[in-house]
Amino acid sequence: MEEQIQQKQAVPEIRDRIGASFGRQGLMTHLGARLAHIGPGCVHIVLPVRPEVTQQHGFVHAGATSAIADSAGGYAALTLFDEESEVLTVEYKINLLAPAAGEYLEAVGTVLKPGRTLSVCRLEVYGVQADGTRKLVANGQQTLIRAQSPGR
């Protein structure tokens, strides 16, 4: 997590908005995921590895891995928009590169191309061991569409 400490933090208003939105996500709560870093165009989500998120071989299920990657990218894009905007995933592709294992998974969403309507993000998921060793277990790309917040 040393890299994350050196990364630029988003301003408090954006961190609060992202945190509040993340708190309304039932799936992230159900999985036990949490926000670990919110920066301009970059968000990290951590998922502790525990039996409830694993598949039959003891690795983190691809669905949980994909879900935290999707959310990390979506929130990364949202950091670049005003408070009247939301984002929705249009599509994403994820490659599972290695069994997802470790003390926790860390999904990193990074905006590659911000746009007025569509934004493209890079998705990376790392398995992190107790000693801090990180292994890339999944990567992908995502397209998001900017939408008006409900009620606006």
pLDDT tens per residue, range 18-45: 999 999 999 999 999 999 999 999 999 9
Between CA 116 and CA 122, with CA 117 as vertex, the angle to 5 degrees is: 90
Between CA 18 and CA 25, with CA 22 as vertex, the angle to 5 degrees is: 150
Tokens of 87: 């984002």
Give φ, ψ of 40 to 5 degrees. -60, 110
Residue type, position 102, single letter: G
The answer to pTM > 0.75 is yes
In angstroms, rounded to a whole number, what is the distance separating the alpha carbons of residues 43 and 123? Answer: 10
User: Beta strands of the chain (E only): which ranges?
Assistant: 34-39, 42-48, 85-96, 104-113, 118-128, 134-148
The pLDDT of residue 13 is above 50: yes
pLDDT above 70: percentage of residues in the chain: 95
Tokens of 143: 């397209």
Say if residues 141 and 77 touch (Cβ distance below 8 Å): no
Tokens of 126: 């790392």
User: How do the domains of the chain map onto residue ranges?
Assistant: 2-148
Say if residues 48 and 32 touch (Cβ distance below 8 Å): yes
In angstroms, rounded to a whole number, what is the distance separating the alpha carbons of residues 4 and 39? Answer: 9
Q: What is the CATH number of domain 2-148?
A: 3.10.129.10
pLDDT, tens only, 122-152:
999 999 999 999 999 999 999 999 998 776 5
